[in-house]
Structure 1
Amino acid sequence: MKQITTLILVLIASFSFSQEMDKEQLLALKKANDYVYKANNLIGKEDFVSAEMAYRKAISKQPENIAGIYNLGNSYYSEGNFEEALYRLQEAAKNAATKAEKHKAFHNIGNALMQNKQCKEAVEAFKNALRNDPTDDETRYNLGIAKACEEQQKQDQKDDNKDDQNKDNEDKKDQDKNQDNKEDQDKKDKEGDNKEEDKKDEGDQDKKEGEDKKDEEGKPKDEKENKGKGDKDEDKQQPKPKPQPGQLSPQQIKSLLEAMNNQEQKVQEKMNAEKQKGIKVKTDKDW
């Protein structure tokens, strides 16, 4: 990098130039030059605060004083205040009247931009410096460094974009994978629910078939209530058994019992009659 140098303003006024300027302008120019000279001495003593104040006074006396603006920008650069240095140096380049002044301003603008990692802008600044002085090898060297810096930044940007793209692709793959897993899980859950529903339907169907089977076998739910009625119906429908040979029929047994009762009734009546006559009757049978 080219070392920052101060611009020592030397006032050379010709007799004809002095005649064209009025006294007030000459006085302002003289005071501005005095402040610049004082500030340059303070910079040599590394008293940047006092030097800054002196440069500002020079600019206030003559706002277009190129020496005051340029040297103030250089003082900011030396202090590491590159933003403020860039502002003042750009102002100096704008107000510069000669190519030499423009070359120095643009050269230092490029240096300030490089400090701010603004490589692309620094390339343009060094190019402008060379347009005003193509013979300066330092400016040409700094231009090469700025171009290399610009290419590196472009490559870094490409790599960052590639990394971002890869990250986006990975994130998308993860999202797709999670979505697929969710869909598979939902499908399994749905199949499980369907199986449970099928099992329930099968259970209901088996239960219904069992009830139908019971109905077909003659075992209704109100079996107890209809049991008596069913027995009566069975008695009515079942035919009476026929008497077997050597056995009395129920009707015969009934008639025999009635006859025995009648006979016993007659004997009892006879005994009562004999008793009334006072005749003792033997009731035991003899062997």
Structure 2
Amino acid sequence: MKRILVIFIFLLAVQVLCAQEKTYIKKGNDLYQQQKFKEAEENYRKSVEKKDQNVPANFNLGDALYKQKKFGDAGEQFTRIAASNNNKKVVADAYHNLGNSLLENKKLEESIEAYKKSLLNNPGDDQTRYNLAYAQEKLKQQQQQNKNNKNQDNNKKQDNKNNQDKQNQDKKDQDKQNQNNQDKQNQDKKDQQNGQQPNQVSKEDAERMLDASNNNEKATQEKLKNKKLKGTKLNISKDW
């Protein structure tokens, strides 16, 4: 009799727990429909406290987290469901939702892997196949954008290098010009100290230049004279 009583009490407790569990799930569903996702989450958590294997409650909990944009927590919830269940449909749906959570978190490569795992368990799911293609296209765009950004950075670095090289060359040219000017000033100063004016020739050089000029002038006059004689030979007028 005692054994029967114990079994009866155990079954009664189970029924009470199941009733409570269903109550929390129903209340959570009602709140979810009202878009009160935080309150719905609280009720779903209560429904799985005593029975962690309750699949609908766990899915609903993950979805409530997802609706609150708690994508990291939602992903962890769907990962636990996929790892703890042997039903391929359940596993496929869990990975599908995991892929969505990862996609929203900008983890494109991880979301692609989750969608692939979902399709392994449910190859006929067109929605998962679409999400997979979407994530792959997003990843392709991201990689192209990263490549473009890298090229822009390289071009910017090259432009900066070219500008720096030009500035360095301009500085060298300016330094060289300054040195030439300094050398000229030093030479002018020496010339002044030696009795010469800047940019003027020495007395000896001036005399040599004058002699050369006179010689050139005489040579020029001689050429003109010869030219005149030769030029008038055929045009001379005789006095008959």
Q: Same-fold call, TM > 0.5? A: yes
TM-score by length of 1: 0.58
- The residue aligned with 1:38 is 27
* 1:62–1:191 distance in 2 versus 1, CA, 3 Å: farther
Match of 1:85 among 70, 74, 78: 74
- The residue aligned with 1:105 is 94
RMSD of equivalent CA atoms: 2.7
Higher relative contact order (CA 8 A, sep 6+): 1
Larger radius of gyration: 1
- Quote the Cα distance in structure 2 between the aligned partners of 1:67 and 1:74: 10
- Quote the offset at 1:152 in angstroms: 1.1
- Quote the Cα distance in structure 2 between the aligned partners of 1:164 and 1:65: 52
- Quote the Cα distance in structure 2 between the aligned partners of 1:101 and 1:30: 24
Gaps of 5+ in 1: 1-17, 208-287
- Quote the Cα distance in structure 2 between the aligned partners of 1:185 and 1:22: 99
* 1:108–1:184 distance in 2 versus 1, CA, 3 Å: same
Match of 2:183 among 189, 194, 199: 194
TM-score by length of 2: 0.69
Gaps of 5+ in 2: 1-6, 197-240
Residue deviations 1:172-225 (CA, integer Å, cap 9, x gap) = 111111111111111111211111111112222337xxxxxxxxxxxxxxxxxx
Q: Is the 8 A contact 2:38 2:64 kept in 1?
A: no
Report whether the alignment pairs 1:116 with 2:105.
Answer: yes
- Quote the Cα distance in structure 2 between the aligned partners of 1:38 and 1:176: 72
Report whether the alignment pairs 1:166 with 2:138.
Answer: no
- Quote the Cα distance in structure 1 between the aligned partners of 2:155 and 2:18: 63
Give the secondary-structure state (helix, strand or coil) at the position aligned to 1:117.
coil
Specify the code of the residue in structure 2 equivalent to 1:163: Q
Match of 1:134 among 123, 130, 140: 123
Give the secondary-structure state (helix, strand or coil) at the position aligned to 2:195.
helix
Give the secondary-structure state (helix, strand or coil) at the position aligned to 1:46.
coil
> How many residue pairs end up in the alignment?
189
- Quote the offset at 1:104 in angstroms: 0.7
* 1:198–1:32 distance in 2 versus 1, CA, 3 Å: farther
Q: Is the 8 A contact 2:75 2:98 kept in 1?
A: yes
Report whether the alignment pairs 1:68 with 2:57.
Answer: yes
- Quote the offset at 1:115 in angstroms: 2.3
